[in-house]
Chain A
Amino acid sequence: MTAAETTFRRRLLARRSAGIGFAVLCVVATLLAIAALAVLLIDVTSQGIGRVSWDFINSFPSRKPEEAGIKAALWGTIWMMGLTAVFAVPLGLGAAIYLEEYAGRNWFTRVVQVNIANLAGVPSIVYGLLGLALFVRALELQRSVLAGALTMALLVLPIIIIAAQEALRAVPSSIREAAYALGATRSQMVFRQVLPAALPGVLTGIILALSRAIGETAPLIMIGALLFVPFTPSGPFDRFTALPIQIFNWASRPQKEFQENAAAGIIVLLAVLLTMNAIAIILRNRFQSAHRG
């Protein structure tokens, strides 16, 4: 063996060990991220599972932690999310359709597109300040479910638009050309051919956007969703509280019993979120296989 060969062998060994070392590092880093999720879930479950019961879900908040429940918060969240969807879904879908199917490639479209990307990065608390000044005060909606829903709708709008655009873009242009060839107008082409084809992707995006809104807390604190609400809202102008607000309220108290209530509230919140995520994943998988097939 020549000297050069020896050097090469030695270096090759060093390079290969570095490779193995890095591969181990990769696995460790990935496991660390997943371990964080696991520890979080275990911690919350072990603290809160003892408090989750039908009584907990069906009781109003109380000064006594063992009697307190999330009825007002759960109904507040359901009301708010329903109204948020009513505002955000048509607007988001409309904007996405405009940008993908109608808008020309000009400076205006670029401005709108860049603007949407930037809005998606605006901190949620800034949306809270907007909601406070615009909906609560200027439009005098007070601290109502409606004010909360409008704020949330603006918050999730960019997410819905971006997701819907991606779904529309994935529809092959041959479908559009075929519709035009049959004499369809642009709106007929969009609403009868492209939109139905993109629907699973659009729905996935909408579900994920709404699941983000369910967990948002900061904007609701800003617009003054109440911390203590012993009633369920009966209309869009009623005052309300929401699940994450109730969790925040309990979590910020020092007593262990309230911490357990917070953990129990988190279990309910995560159960709702995981269900929504699962639906989104199923829809997406069906969407992907339909496109490959």
Chain B
Amino acid sequence: MAVRQTGMAGASRIKPRGPLEARLRRGREAAIHGLLLFCALVSILTTFGIIAVLLEETVGFFRDVSIWEYLTDTRWTPLFSPAHYGILPLLAGTLLVAAFAALFAIPIGLVTAIFLSEYAPSWLRSIVKPLLEVLAGIPTVVLGFFALTFISPQVIRPLTDAPVFNALAAAIAVGIMIIPLISSLSEDAMSAVPRSLREGAYALGATKFEVARRVVVPAALSGIAASFILAISRAVGETMIVVLAAGGTPNLTWNPLEAVQTMTAYIVQVSLGDTPQGSLEFRTIFAVGMTLFVMTLAMNVISQYLLHTFREVYE
């Protein structure tokens, strides 16, 4: 087709094809355009679907339970009587695991990113980066198994008197999960820092460490912060590790050596059981899911915003 239309000979052959062919061609183009637009719209529909589904059941839930009780009651016992619907124990469990995961993963992830961006020779990068990608690709059910059969019995319990299921084992596994995320996104941010900034600092006599600490990291700070927030959001939404390793009882505590239940683990617990659909107990998972969705969305939006500002500065 393309060949036929080139050159003078081609031009003379296009003319007699007439308006019908041109209309057909325009119609076909419009149809393809419409089809592709529909594909793009599916993602918008997905968002609407998520919000609609969560909202419908959550509204039903809050007809029976006051928002005040949901946010302030310190007991979460929807499956027993007397039933209490206070999200705080689940929220505390979630934040406890996420906080300790961040405490473990952020220093390692950031320093690894600095190493890859500033120190490592290219041959070493080409070995380390794929390994980190493999780590990022390990399914979370596998990390949960690792937390349960290795981190808890071999690392934590010999050193402390923690029970088999404890928040710390889950937090370390979640930390292992988010290290590659932090290191790869932070490294991207640092690689985007213009070379001239580094060279300026070297010209003033700075050492490599000083260039990294005083020039590269501050210049990439919004991207680095974005990676931290995204990683914490991932930790909050993580499910299988905490289901397998953190325990199954809602527990309002700040002690990482106790068993806790996270919001995600509660949702799994209910869906594994035989709670009748349409009941208030069943609706709780959508209310908890809504809480989780709002929390992670807020963090993702902040992260996107930070990432966006940093791109504007250096592109």
Contacts and interface: CB of A to CB of B under 8 A. Distances in A.
To the question of whether A and B form a pair in one complex, the answer is yes
Interface of A: 15-16, 18-19, 22-23, 25-27, 29-30, 32-34, 36-37, 39-40, 43-44, 47, 90-95, 97-99, 102-103, 111-112, 114-119, 121-130, 132-134, 137, 154, 157-158, 161, 179, 182-188, 192, 208, 211-212, 214-218, 221-222, 224, 227, 244, 247-248, 251-252, 259, 262-263, 266, 269-270, 273-274, 277, 281
B141 A94 contact: no
A30 B5 contact: no
A248 B46 contact: no
B132 to A, nearest CB: 7
Given A26-B119, A224-B271, A102 B25 contact: no
B119 A183 contact: no
B309 interface: no
Contacts of A18: 207, 209
Q: Is the interface of A mostly helix, strand, loop or mixed?
A: helix
Contacts of B238: 123
A103 B243 CA distance: 42
A25 B32 CA distance: 55
A29 B2 contact: no
Given A263-B149, A270-B138, 19 more contacts: A26-B111, A27-B115, A29-B107, A33-B135, A37-B131, A37-B138, A40-B138, A44-B142, A97-B36, A98-B40, A111-B44, A115-B47, A118-B47, A121-B230, A125-B239, A161-B43, A214-B139, A215-B141, A244-B139
- 5 smallest beta-carbon distances between A and B, as pairs: A215-B139, A123-B237, A94-B39, A26-B115, A98-B36
Contacts of B109: 33
B176 A29 contact: no
A222 B267 contact: yes
A164 B9 CA distance: 38
Given A26-B111, A188-B2, A247-B145, A269 B139 contact: yes
B114 interface: yes
Interface stretch (B69-77, B80-88, B291-299): B291-299
Contacts of B67: none
A34 B233 contact: no
A90 B39 contact: yes
A43 B148 CA distance: 12
Contacts of B140: 215, 217-218
Nearest to A157: B43
A116 B145 CA distance: 31
21 contacts: A16-B207, A30-B111, A33-B109, A34-B135, A36-B135, A44-B142, A93-B39, A94-B40, A99-B40, A102-B37, A115-B43, A115-B44, A121-B233, A123-B264, A124-B237, A187-B32, A217-B141, A227-B272, A248-B243, A263-B145, A270-B142
A247 B36 contact: no
A19 B208 contact: yes
B207 A19 contact: yes
Given A16-B207, A32-B108, A116 B43 contact: yes
Contacts of A184: 1-2
B259 interface: no
A129 B236 CA distance: 16
Interface string B194-215: 0000000000000111101100
A40 B147 CA distance: 9
A102 B33 contact: yes
A15 B40 contact: no
A33 B236 CA distance: 21
Contacts, number: 270
Contact of A122 (B32, B50, B272): B50
B54 interface: yes
Contact of A40 (B54, B143, B234): B143
A122 B53 CA distance: 14
Contacts of A32: 108
B40 A183 contact: no
A33 B42 CA distance: 37
B307 to A, nearest CB: 9
Contacts of A270: 138, 142
Contact of B128 (A15, A30, A215): A30
A291 to B, nearest CB: 17
A95 B36 CA distance: 6
A227 B273 CA distance: 12
A243 to B, nearest CB: 9
B191 interface: no
Interface string B113-133: 011100110000000101111
A183 B47 contact: no
A185 B31 CA distance: 13
Interface in B223-273: 230, 233-234, 236-240, 243-244, 264, 267-268, 271-272
Nearest to A97: B36
Given A90-B39, A269-B139, A125 B53 contact: no
A221 B207 CA distance: 53
B50 A39 contact: no
A29 B120 CA distance: 13
Contacts of A185: 25, 29
